[in-house]
Amino acid sequence: MSDFANALQTGHPNARHGWTLPMIGAVGLALLLGGCGKTASNSIEEDAAMAQRLQRVGTVELQVATAGGAPKTGEQAFQAQCAACHATGALGSPKFGDAAAWAPRIATGQAALTNSALKGKNAMPPQAGGALSDLEVSRAVAYMANAGGAKFAEPKGE
Ligand code: HEC
């Protein structure tokens, strides 16, 4: 029997490390509990990280669906693509809200004005040179003409 094992059994004061059986048991238990606790908290953190990743993917998909699925309103399309010229009357364009400038154009009718915006007219490029759909351009025409005194209905979705 080794000195150490002997000391464990007898609890002799001269035992080399001065360890007793209950002490070793306590240390073992502490290691065991510590180990368990660590494993448990790791997996909770991993679950949380996983949930966050899933949530992020879900959020992105939602935004893409909204951007692709809902056409802009007349006002949104105007702000995005038409205001660049029409807010100030740049390049000789009829200015937003200027009834005198819009009246003779409104008199030609909604279809003619929409056609001008879609195909372009003089200094105005087709589709205003942007990435709006035909529906969004035609809504912007109605929005802008109405601000100039027209009573056009904003075209609904296809
Ligand atoms: C690059 C500047 C520019 C942008 C951007 C622009 N326009 Fe114009 N727009 C003009 C000019 C210039 C005219 C006047 C054309 C003319 O009669 O010679 C005009 C005229 C118009 C008219 C009257 C057309 C007619 O037949 O009398 C409408 C309607 C119109 N724009 C709609 C729009 C809409 C809708 C948008 C955004 C989708 C837009 N414009 C963006 C420059 C622009």
Chain centroid to Cα 2, Å, comes to 69
Q: Is residue 47 part of a domain?
A: yes
Looking at the structure, tell me whether residues 61 and 94 fall in a common domain: no
The pLDDT assigned to 7 comes to: 46
Q: How many residues does the chain have?
A: 158
In this structure, the residue with its CA closest to atom 14 of ligand 1 is 93
Q: How close is the Cα of 124 to the center of ligand 1, in Å? A: 5
Choosing from 45, 69, 93, the residue where a domain stops is 69
Q: 16 is in which domain, residue-wise?
A: 3-69
pLDDT of the chain, 158 residues: tens digit per residue = 455 544 455 555 554 555 555 555 555 555 555 555 455 556 766 776 666 665 555 444 443 334 557 899 999 999 999 999 999 999 999 999 999 999 999 999 999 999 999 999 999 999 999 889 999 999 999 999 999 999 999 999 86
Instruction: Give me the residues paired with residue 121 across strands.
Output: 124
Q: In angstroms, what CA-CA distances link 18 with 11, 21, 22, 30, 31?
A: 8, 10, 12, 19, 20
The two tokens of residue 86 are: 């029409």
The pLDDT assigned to 113 comes to: 98
Looking at the structure, tell me whether residues 82 and 142 fall in a common domain: yes
In this structure, the residue with its CA closest to atom 37 of ligand 1 is 82
The pLDDT assigned to 58 comes to: 47
The pLDDT assigned to 54 comes to: 56
Ligand 1 atom showing the smallest separation from residue 130 Cα: 38
Q: In angstroms, what CA-CA distances link 77 with 17, 80, 91, 119?
A: 83, 5, 19, 16
Q: How close is the Cα of 117 to the center of ligand 1, in Å? A: 6
Q: Is residue 108 part of a domain?
A: yes
Ligand 1 atom showing the smallest separation from residue 105 Cα: 27
The pLDDT assigned to 130 comes to: 87
What is the rounded distance in angstroms from the CA atom of residue 147 to the CA atom of residue 83? 13
Backbone CA torsion sign across 98, 103, 104, 108: positive
Best of 73, 75, 82, 137 to mutate for ligand 1, by most ligand atoms within 8 A of CB?
A: 82
Q: How close is the Cα of 6 to the center of ligand 1, in Å? A: 101
Best of 75, 85, 136, 139 to mutate for ligand 1, by most ligand atoms within 8 A of CB?
A: 85
DSSP 42-72: HHHHHHHHHHHHHHHHHHHHHHHHHHHHSPP
Looking at the structure, tell me whether residues 90 and 138 fall in a common domain: yes
Backbone CA torsion sign across 96, 99, 105, 106: positive
Q: Mapping DSSP to helix (H, G, I), strand (E, B) and coil, where does residue 151 land?
A: coil
Looking at the structure, tell me whether residues 44 and 102 fall in a common domain: no
The pLDDT assigned to 64 comes to: 39
